[in-house]
Every structure is written in structure tokens, then in C-alpha cells.
Amino acid sequence: MDDEEAIWGTLSSEEHRSVWAETEANFWAKFALEQKEWRSEQELDFNEASVELRAELTSLTGQRKQLTETQERLNAQLAKVAGDLRNVVEQCDSRTHELSELDQAYRKRLEEQSEKWEVQRSTMQRFFKEKHGGSVHSDDEEDEDDEDEAEDEPMIDLPVTVQQTTSPRDPKVREFRENGKRSPKLIPMVGHREKRRKHTEPLVNVIDITGRVIGPVELIEPWNKWVKAILKLPIRRPVTIRPGRRFTDEHMATIYDRSESKGVKWLSCMMQAIGEVQSKRCASCDKNQGVFQQCIIVGGDLLQKCGNCEWNRQGCHGASGEGIDFKKAAERMEEILKARAEQKMPASPEYPRDEADTSRRLATHLKAMFPEREKLESNGTKINKHNLVLRHNGEVYTHPDCMVGVPVAKIDENHPYWDRSWKDIRAEVRESRERWVGKQQAIHLAEARKMACGSSKYQAGRQINRGTKILEFLDEGEISPYQLLAKKHMHASKGGIASYDTLFRLCDTVSELQKYNLDITPLEWIRHRLHELIQVEGKSFNLPRTMHDFYHDPKLSALRTKHGYKNIGRPTPQPLKKRKSMLLDSEITPASSRVASPTPSSHGGGPRIHDLLNSPNGPAVKRPRTQEDSVGFNEKRPSPVIDMTPSKVVLGEETFFVSRVKESGFESPPHFHLFWKFHPMQRSLQLCGLPNDNIIQFHPITKGVSLDDVMSVRWSPESLCIVIMRKVELYNPPTFAKTLCSFHDKGALDRFLDFCKAQRLNLIAYSRAEVEADWPKAQEKP
């Protein structure tokens, strides 16, 4: 160091400058080089590291583009499929409708033709018989092995009156019936053309569909094993002849025919009175080929065919095969015989002897209970320009009372008549409609995610359409809904006239009436009709409620029918509402519509109609005391013996008889006439039951179906069964439940389907196998 310093000291200042210059030059050169090296090194590293990512990014960008395109394409396809599906569903509905109409037409033709053949057959039969000199073919060999004979040839009605000489009043017959023993001295008379039998002891009546009695089926002695078997069983219902089928006294007389060993006609009548109604009719009944209305089978070894096939002496195939419970039947019979022995009851305790008298009595009761009905019915004049009650002075209405003060011209919020408490209907409807649109979109989304949504989609669609229609009416209609009647009728709680459904009913009625070529405007018709109802109902008249249910107004229904449109359900005479609810609703306590508890044990309890008829609330109706009244059946058989078989009694509009109802954890109890009762306010169906044995006692069964939960109603043109699909939970995760329901006949089913249509439920046609798949296999025969 010292050396360097020494050397440095020896250098001149010139030399000093040159040394510093050199040193500086060296430094900068090195600095630049280092920088360059560092840079190129880092650049290399970066390039190396990023090349892979760049490649991935390019590929991902490509994929993104592709997927976006695919998504757009699929969205378009989805929209198209949704559209197509809507179309197909619509077409499906319309084809189903066509098919069922075709089917009905075919059945009708077949029925008419069968009748012609029947007449021809018996005429020719008589003719040939005469030509043969009166000898008749006898068929004594026939026995139970004839299952398959005469499959397509219904047996010809032999016009022989074969008689029996032993009076059924004969104590020995009675002894048999009561003890099940055959007296050795009682020899069956299997003869032809014996002197006319004296009909004495009626067992059950043969009636037509309206309930008119054609004649009694009388007790005969147990002359063969089949008769013997059937006489041990209790009678459950009258024998109903199929509508359109001629059945006269002459036919009645032939049922005692014994030209074959079985006595099939008497037997088949009894089978109809005793057996089990088939949830699925046999092939022959299904073609309406039999004389009886229903397909009914007793069951057991001896009585396997249905009454119709027995009558026609042909094989019986394809029925669901329910048979009666022989053990229970025997117990029941014992009860009856015991009671009869003690009380000297008439021969047929199960079924009133004189239906005519019974219906008359019932009619009197009803008349006394519903005096308004008479008034309403007598008031059945048409509404037209000659009797129209509306009067106005060009500005406001002056007559009738319910219209006084209402402006003639359409009003809005700025009109002096407008009440400040009135809501902006348009905004509310638009809001509700938007809500439905939102729901529909949610459903479409859920669908896109492959979540099943069933018919709520259609329900949403329907509600949107309703909204559109209401908005149209508000914009283009002749009046504001608040002008329908005078102000005093507009103040009603909860939604009032401005509620969605009520508004829809109003505008739907207006468009419906437009179809009927009235000589007054639809609104004039509606207002006049409302005036009439106010006259009848007085203070209890409630405009929103009346309007809400206006579809079923009797006069509107009558117009509909007159113009060839189908009426859905029975007409609702409005004034009957209150009284009706006294009769039905108070007893059929609507259980919570979703409860599915299997408790058919809700029998008993609750007032009986008999008590109601004589209650202080209703007019006391004196019923002639009959022998039955004094019979001490107490708890088991309450006293009134008014016939309440389904064919006779109208329980109320929107009541639908069914044969069986089943769902998971619930099955309808046997031995009841079951029916669905519709509660319009709750939009729910309640299952109710009438005991089979004519006792007026309504049984609500804790089984209800809320229409708002119904996703779809699956039916088949070939089946008497339907499946009601209900939603239990729409999301997280969606769960559904099925309610299986079967009907006694096609008519009952059609009526229910019409009701479903009117309630805008989603009807979907399926194959027979599909709608019947969930029913348990036909029960074992005992």
C-alpha cells in the first residue's frame, strides 16, 4: 500500500487523470457487460418457463370458443325441444280426446246394434219354436265346466217360463236359508212349463239406472249347489240394469227358468246383488255386452264368472278378479238371520223393500230442507232482452237495486266514481303474472338441469295465459271489474272481485257467453243473473264468491248444455251452498289435505243425517216410522233406512263415486260406497264413504288430495283406473307420490276426467298397463 501510494506520489497530475480515465472506462465496460449477460440469462429462463403456459393458454382459449358455440347451439336446441314438447303434448291431448270420442261412438253403436240383434234373435227364436211345434231345446247337461263355450255367442234367451211350485214361504225353504241345511223332503222341481209361479218373497230389486224398480228377485228353494251357495251370502246392493238395455216384466219372469241345470239368470241377478264390483271389468262387460251395468264377481269355487257372463253363459276373462270375503259374509249373514229371528224383520233387511217409497221420502226431506231450490227452479226463465231488468239514464244505472249508481261508461282511477280503497288491478295482475313467468323460467332451468318438474310447468303456463286474458279484459273490456255491480257489493274481504281467479272467471264467462248468440251482451246477462241470485240469497249473497264459482251457475250450465258444450260436474245451485254445507261439509270435516294416515276407523262419531234432518237447525221432518226403526241394531246399524246407493242419491255437485283408492300407506276400506267430494274453497278432494248397507252416515276418511299439489292425472282410454301424481316436494330433492283410484264404470271415470279438465289439471293418456301397474295383483280367491 505504501508502495502504491509512493508510486502514485511520483506520478504527475497529467498521469493521474489518464489513470482515472482508464479506470472509469474499464468500470463502465464491465458494468455494461454484466447487465447484458444478466438480461440474456433471465430472458432465456423466462422464455423456457413460459412456453408451456403459452401453449396451454392457446389451447384453452380454443376450447372456450368451441364450448361457447356449443352452448349457444344447445340453448337454441333446448328452446326448440321445449317448443316441440309443448306441441306434442297439445297434440297428444287432442288425439287422446279424439280417441276417447271415437271409442264412445263405437261403444254406442255396438250397444244399439246389440239391442237390434237381441230383438231379432228373440223374434226368430219364437218363430222357429212355433215352426218346430213348440218343442224347446233343453240344455240340461250344462254345468260349471262350460267356461269357454259360446264365447262370442251370447246365449239366446229361451222364451220359456219355467215355474217352481214350492212356495218360498214354505217353512222348509226358510229353514234352509236360516240353518243352511237342506230339508230331505224339499225336492227341487226341475220342470218346464209348470203353472205360473207365485212370486212371494223378494230378496232384492232389479232397478234401472235412474233407480226405478223393474221388479223383485224372489227367493227360490235351493235346488242346486249354486243356488245353495249363493243363498248363504248377504245381499249388498240392488241389481242395476245397464242404461239403454231393455229389461221388462217379461225378462223378469224368465229369471226363474230352469231349462238348464244352473238357473243362470236368477243366479246372475243374485251375483250382481252380492258380489264384489270389479275394479277392472271383464272383456265382455268392457264391451258393454251384458245386461247388467257393472261387472260383479262373487268368487269362490262355484261363482267365478261375473253376473253378465253368467247370464250370457259364456266365459269370463280379463276382470280384476276381486271376490267377496266369504268369512265376513257368513258372519254378516248370521247377524242378519239372528236379528230377523229376534225382531221378525222383513225378508230383506239389507235393502229396503220399497225403493219408490224410499225415494219419495228422501225427496220430501230434501224439499223441506232446501226450499230455495224450488224457488230457484221455478225461476228458470231464460234471460233475454224481453225480461232484462237493467235500466240506465245514459249515465248511470237506475235499476235494479244491485246496479243503482254504477256509471254506464268504463271508469278508471281518475273517474269520480272510483273508490280510493280500490286497488290498481292492472298492476296486481301484471305482478302475479310476472311471478308465474318467473316460476316458469325456474322450471325451464330446472328442466335443463334434468330435474323432473312434471306439470307445474303447465300450471305456470296456464296461469300466465289467465293473466294475459285478464289484462286484455282490463284494457279492452266494456267495464272495469269494479263496475260489475254497485259499490256495496265490491267491499269484500280477501282479494274480493280483484283476485286473480275471480277476475279470470269473470272474463272467461264474458267470452263464453259471446259464443251463445244472446240477444243481450254477456255483461248484461251476467248482471241480470247476479240480480236473480241476490233476490234468492238476500244478505248472504257474496259477489266474489259467487263470481269465483260462476262456472257452475245452473243457468250458465244450462246455456252451455243447450249450445252443445260439455258441462263439467253437476251445476251448483248457489243458494243451496249454506244448507248444503250443513248437510255435507259439517260432517265431512275436511282433514288436512295432505294427511295420509291410514285410519279408516273414523267411522262412527259425527252426527247422522237422520239427526240432522230432525235437528233444530233444519225443519223437523217427520219420517213415517217403519218396522226397521224399532229394530235394535244400536251401534252397528243406526236406524234410518233410506236408500243411499250411488245410483239414487245426488250427494252434491262435484261428488265423484269411486270404487277403490290406494296410495302408499293408505287403502280405502272395503264395504263402502266411496266418493271424492270437492271443496272448492280449499281446492281439495276429500275421500268419503257411505257404508254399503244403506245407512245414512257420511264417513270422512282421512285422505285428501289438494289440487294444487297435483302434477298430473294419468289415465287410459282402456282402463277404469287413474293415477294422480302429486308433488310432495318440488326441489331438494323433488319427491312425488301417487294416488291410485279406480272407478265403477266408464261414465264415472269420464265425469271425473271432465272435472279434472275444468280444474285445468294436466291430463296425460297412458297405456292401460301403465296406469294399472301399481295396483296389487288381484287378491287370492278364498
Residues that bind Zn ion (CB under 5 A): 282, 284-285, 295, 306, 308-309, 316
| CB nearer Zn ion, residue 288 or residue 655 | 288
Q: How would you classify residue 663: left for phi > 0, otherwise alpha for psi between -120 and 50, otherwise beta?
A: beta
Count the Cβ atoms, other than its own, within 10 Å of residue 83: 10
On whether the CB atoms of residues 274 and 298 are closer than 8 A, the answer is yes
Give the nearest distance from C-beta 751 to Zn ion in angstroms. 21
Rounded Cα–Cα distance for residues 357 and 350 (Å): 16
Give the nearest distance from C-beta 355 to Zn ion in angstroms. 24
Instruction: Tell me the CA distances in angstroms from 349 to 198, 237, 326, 329, 672, one per residue in order.
Output: 22, 11, 19, 15, 17
| CB nearer Zn ion, residue 243 or residue 604 | 243
Q: Which residues is 676 bridged to in the sheet?
A: 656, 687
Single-letter amino acid code for the residue at 441:
Q
| CB nearer Zn ion, residue 313 or residue 751 | 313
| CB nearer Zn ion, residue 145 or residue 249 | 145
Give the nearest distance from C-beta 240 to Zn ion in angstroms. 13
Give the nearest distance from C-beta 299 to Zn ion in angstroms. 13
Widest distance between CA atoms in the chain: 175
| CB nearer Zn ion, residue 103 or residue 434 | 103
Give the nearest distance from C-beta 662 to Zn ion in angstroms. 22
Task: Provide the sign of the torsion angle of the four alpha carbons 327, 328, 330, 334, taken in this order.
Answer: positive
Q: DSSP class of residue 630? A: G
| CB nearer Zn ion, residue 308 or residue 459 | 308
Give the nearest distance from C-beta 303 to Zn ion in angstroms. 12
| CB nearer Zn ion, residue 546 or residue 719 | 719
| CB nearer Zn ion, residue 287 or residue 426 | 287
| CB nearer Zn ion, residue 279 or residue 308 | 308
Helix (H) or strand (E) holding 205: strand 202-207
Give the nearest distance from C-beta 284 to Zn ion in angstroms. 5
Helix (H) or strand (E) holding 330: helix 326-343
Give the nearest distance from C-beta 281 to Zn ion in angstroms. 5
E runs forming strands in 654-718: 655-658, 660-663, 666-667, 672-679, 684-691, 699-706, 710-715
Give the nearest distance from C-beta 770 to Zn ion in angstroms. 23
Q: Which residues is 662 bridged to in the sheet?
A: 667, 740
Give the nearest distance from C-beta 115 to Zn ion in angstroms. 18
Q: DSSP class of residue 584? A: I
| CB nearer Zn ion, residue 282 or residue 362 | 282
| CB nearer Zn ion, residue 306 or residue 583 | 306
Kindly provide the b/e burial profile for residues 614-629, where b requires at least 16 CB atoms within 10 angstroms of the residue's own CB.
Answer: beeebeebebeebebe
The 3-state DSSP class for residue 138 equals: coil
The 3-state DSSP class for residue 729 equals: strand
Q: DSSP class of residue 445? A: H
Give the nearest distance from C-beta 241 to Zn ion in angstroms. 14
Q: How many CA atoms lie within 13 A of 176 on its CB side?
A: 24
Dihedral angle computed from the Cα positions of residues 713, 717, 719 and 720, in that order, rounded to the nearest 10 degrees? 60
Instruction: Tell me the CA distances in angstroms from 741 to 102, 646, 690, 724, one per residue in order.
Output: 24, 17, 17, 8
Q: Which of 641, 721, 656 is nearest to 688 (CA)?
A: 656
